[in-house]
């Protein structure tokens, strides 16, 4: 039973990890806590529907179109909103990000209607039994895609000069400009990367949650995962996502599934009160 | 030759530099002396474009060094090691060093270059895998200089490299400054520690309230009554 719960919980955890990564990436790089990020996740999934309905594309090409569109969306957010606000206060930037999320949410509500849309699973949702544990291929696909994206990001940040330059600019902007990094280009890259991440997360999570304009509430889960991980560490975001997924599943199974969401928000409050530096705060200090 | 002519710069409405001119010949060590707040750091920042210039020009071999982001100055061969060092504290020493070669990232000799610098700064070698924040002040200063040298600048601007360091470490760093210059890189050295600066420099000037009040060879400056009473 416990093994079954843990296996199932990884699915939600993987998606939380992706969303948390987006939050942390934007925060580390630009200092902005992007409260509209959850709505960007929803919007990403709607982009697939829009591409299907508007251009009449089949599912997979529509996903590709949505990913390309989210590159443009990221560039637009930076060029149209965050670059003009670069000298404004952080609070103004955070409010702008919240307003931008609301614009996206209300756009899909007006354009696609307030009710839920069916969204296809990537693989079959019919469970199969592996060593007595029920495994859902659709969920495996979610975990697989998440792991793939995480691996790509790891390669980017650890193995390429451009990725290292992004990490460098997140660490010290003046230092980055002194070695010749154009910091505005790094910000653009961060907004594009996080927008693509949001769309990937949206496509993965939409069939689980049913796609409606208010699916963006999932953003708070990603936010909680990011806080769990310390909000400043990319590995922390991933661990925070998995931990949140597991805790939620345990609470949902052994306490009450109705209380599941309440428990994850309770975790958020508890972490802020007791361990504001997050789970990895300890580990980071031990390493030093 | 790096030439600064009639440079004015400041922060917002506050003018700090009021018409500074100076020359740094290739391969030379030139020092700028002055008290706290004289405008020494402002001068270096305005040269590389970290601060906008209000008026005046900076030229490198008679070609203008454009105002703007430091990447332009760096491409032209002018690198700054600022007083605050601005290292990437959460990244490893090795990454800090490698990132110094960011603009030359296509070059095949990045690894060889960082090996060469580790020979010059041997105390960094044992620390390569550690985050830069775990280094001592002296090691951080050495890493900041090494990172700037990774871009193979022809002119290195050093802002107060002796600040807050033990005398033994200061000796070591100034030995390295001599070595850098002997290998062909010119150094523009801003210092409050006039004695040691005049020891390595061939010429220099004194900056007071944003204006050059005295200039000459290191010998002339050392014997000047103004320098003797105020800075030595």
* A46-84 pLDDT tens trace: 999 999 988 899 999 999 999 999 999 999 999 999 999
Q: Which residue in A110, A125, A146 sits closest to A242, CA to CA?
A: A146
Given CA atoms A79, A84, A86, A88 in this order, what sign does their dihedral have? negative
Q: What is residue B27's three-state secondary structure?
A: coil
Residues of chain B in contact with residue A167, where contact means CB-CB under 8 angstroms, are 88, 91, 95
Max Cα distance, chain A (Å): 58
Q: In chain A, pLDDT over 90 holds for what percent of residues?
A: 62
Which chain B residue lies closest to A288 (C-alpha atoms)? B134
Distance CA A262, CA A258 (A): 8
A209-227 pLDDT, tens digit each: 889 999 998 999 999 999 9
Distance CA A58, CA B145 (A): 56
Give me the pLDDT at residue A52, please: 92
Q: Quick check: B179 contacting A, CB < 8 Å?
A: no
Residue listed under structure tokens 């925060």:
A27
Average pLDDT over residues B200-227: 93
N-term to C-term CA, chain B: 29
Query: What is the enclosing helix (H) or strand (E) of A22?
Result: helix A2-30
Residue listed under structure tokens 């451009």:
A162
Query: How far is the alpha carbon of B126 from chain A, nearest alpha carbon, in Å?
Result: 15
Count CB neighbours of A124 within 10 A.
12
For domain B2-230, give the fold: Rossmann fold (3.40.50)
Distance CA A99, CA A105 (A): 10
Give me the pLDDT at residue B2, please: 95
Considering only the beta carbons, identify the residue of A172, A174, A180 that sits closest to B151. A180
Residue listed under structure tokens 């296996």:
A7
Looking at the DSSP bridge assignments, the partners of residue B18 are B8
A225-282 pLDDT, tens digit each: 999 988 888 889 999 999 999 988 888 888 887 887 887 788 888 888 888 777 766 4
Packing angle, helices B110-120 and B167-182, rounded to 10: 130
Considering only the beta carbons, identify the residue of B82, B89, B150 that sits closest to A171. B89
> What are the structure tokens assigned to B27, written together?
């391969």
Please report the domains of chain A, with CATH numbers, ordered by start residue. 2-287 (1.10.3470)
Q: Quick check: A283 contacting B, CB < 8 Å?
A: no
pLDDT over 90 (residue A5): no
Q: In chain B, pLDDT over 70 holds for what percent of residues?
A: 100
Which chain B residue lies closest to A174 (C-alpha atoms)? B86
Query: How far is the alpha carbon of A170 from chain B, nearest alpha carbon, in Å?
Result: 9
Q: Quick check: B138 contacting A, CB < 8 Å?
A: no
Alpha helices (H) in chain B, listed in sequence order: 40-48, 70-76, 93-99, 110-120, 137-149, 167-182, 194-200, 218-223, 225-230
pLDDT bucket at A7, cuts 50 / 70 / 90: confident
How open is the CA angle A215-A219-A223, to the nearest 5 degrees? 160
Count CB neighbours of A172 within 10 A.
21
Residues of chain B in contact with residue A175, where contact means CB-CB under 8 angstroms, are 86-88
Q: Please state the φ and ψ torsions of residue B83, each to the nearest 5 degrees.
A: -60, -40
Q: What is residue B56's three-state secondary structure?
A: strand
Q: Quick check: A158 contacting B, CB < 8 Å?
A: no
**What are the residue ranges spanned by the domains of chain B?**
2-230
Average pLDDT over residues A141-165: 92
Q: What is the mean pLDDT of chain A?
A: 90
Residue listed under structure tokens 């850098």:
B180
A177-189 pLDDT, tens digit each: 999 999 999 999 9
Residue listed under structure tokens 């496509």:
A203
Query: What is the enclosing helix (H) or strand (E) of B22?
Result: strand B14-24
Give me the pLDDT at residue A280, please: 66
Residue listed under structure tokens 């690894």:
B111
A174–B86 CB contact, under 8 Å: yes
Q: Quick check: A165 contacting B, CB < 8 Å?
A: yes
pLDDT bucket at B4, cuts 50 / 70 / 90: very high
Strands B29-33 and B155-159, bridge-based pairing: unpaired
B91-129 pLDDT, tens digit each: 999 999 999 999 988 777 888 999 999 999 999 999 999
């Amino acid at each position: 039973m416990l093994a079954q719960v843990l296996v199932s919980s990884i699915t939600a955890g993987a998606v939380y990890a992706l969303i948390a990564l987006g939050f942390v990436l934007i925060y580390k790089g630009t200092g902005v806590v992007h409260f509209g990020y959850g709505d960007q996740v929803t919007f990403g999934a709607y982009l697939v529907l829009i591409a299907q309905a508007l251009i009449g594309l089949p599912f997979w090409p529509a996903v590709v179109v949505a990913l390309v569109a989210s590159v443009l969306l990221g560039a637009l957010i930076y060029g149209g909103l965050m670059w003009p606000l670069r000298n404004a206060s952080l609070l103004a930037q955070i409010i702008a990000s919240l307003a931008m999320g609301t614009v996206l949410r209300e756009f899909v509500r007006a354009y696609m209607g307030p009710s839920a849309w069916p969204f296809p699973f990537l693989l079959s949702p019919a469970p199969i039994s592996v060593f007595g544990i029920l495994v859902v291929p659709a969920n495996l696909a979610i975990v697989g895609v998440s792991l793939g994206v995480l691996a790509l990001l790891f390669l980017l940040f650890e193995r390429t000069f451009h990725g290292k330059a992004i990490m460098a600019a997140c660490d010290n902007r003046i230092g980055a400009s002194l070695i010749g990094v154009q910091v505005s280009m790094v910000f653009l890259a961060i907004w594009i990367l996080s927008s693509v991440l949001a769309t990937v997360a949206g496509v993965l999570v939409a069939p689980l949650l049913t796609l409606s304009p208010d699916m963006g509430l999932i953003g708070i889960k990603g936010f909680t995962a990011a806080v769990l991980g310390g909000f400043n560490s990319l590995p922390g975001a991933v661990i925070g996502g998995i931990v949140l997924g597991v805790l939620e599943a345990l609470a949902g199974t052994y306490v009450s599934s109705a209380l599941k969401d309440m428990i994850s928000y309770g975790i958020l409050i508890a972490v802020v009160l007791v361990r504001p530096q997050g789970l990895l705060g300890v580990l980071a200090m031990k390493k030093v | 030759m790096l030439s600064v002519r009639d440079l004015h710069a400041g922060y917002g409405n506050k003018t700090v530099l009021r018409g500074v001119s100076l020359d740094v010949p290739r391969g030379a060590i030139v020092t700028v002396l002055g008290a706290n707040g004289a405008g020494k750091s402002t001068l270096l920042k305005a040269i590389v474009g970290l601060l906008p210039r209000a008026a005046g020009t900076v030229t490198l071999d008679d070609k203008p060094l454009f105002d703007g982001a430091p990447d332009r100055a760096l491409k032209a061969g002018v690198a700054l090691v600022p007083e605050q060092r601005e290292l990437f504290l959460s990244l490893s020493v090795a990454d800090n060093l490698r990132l110094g070669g960011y603009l030359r990232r296509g070059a095949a000799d990045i690894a060889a270059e960082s090996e060469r610098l580790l020979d010059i700064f041997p105390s960094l070698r044992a620390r390569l895998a550690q985050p830069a924040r775990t280094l001592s002040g002296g090691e951080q200063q050495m890493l900041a200089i090494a990172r700037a040298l990774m871009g193979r600048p022809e002119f290195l601007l050093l802002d107060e490299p002796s600040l807050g360091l033990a005398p033994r470490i200061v000796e070591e760093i100034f030995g390295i400054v001599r070595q850098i210059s002997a290998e062909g890189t010119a150094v523009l050295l801003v210092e409050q520690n006039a004695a040691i600066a005049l020891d390595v420099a061939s010429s220099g000037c004194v900056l007071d309230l944003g204006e050059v009040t005295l200039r000459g060879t290191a010998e002339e400056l050392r014997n000047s009554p103004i320098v003797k009473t105020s800075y030595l």
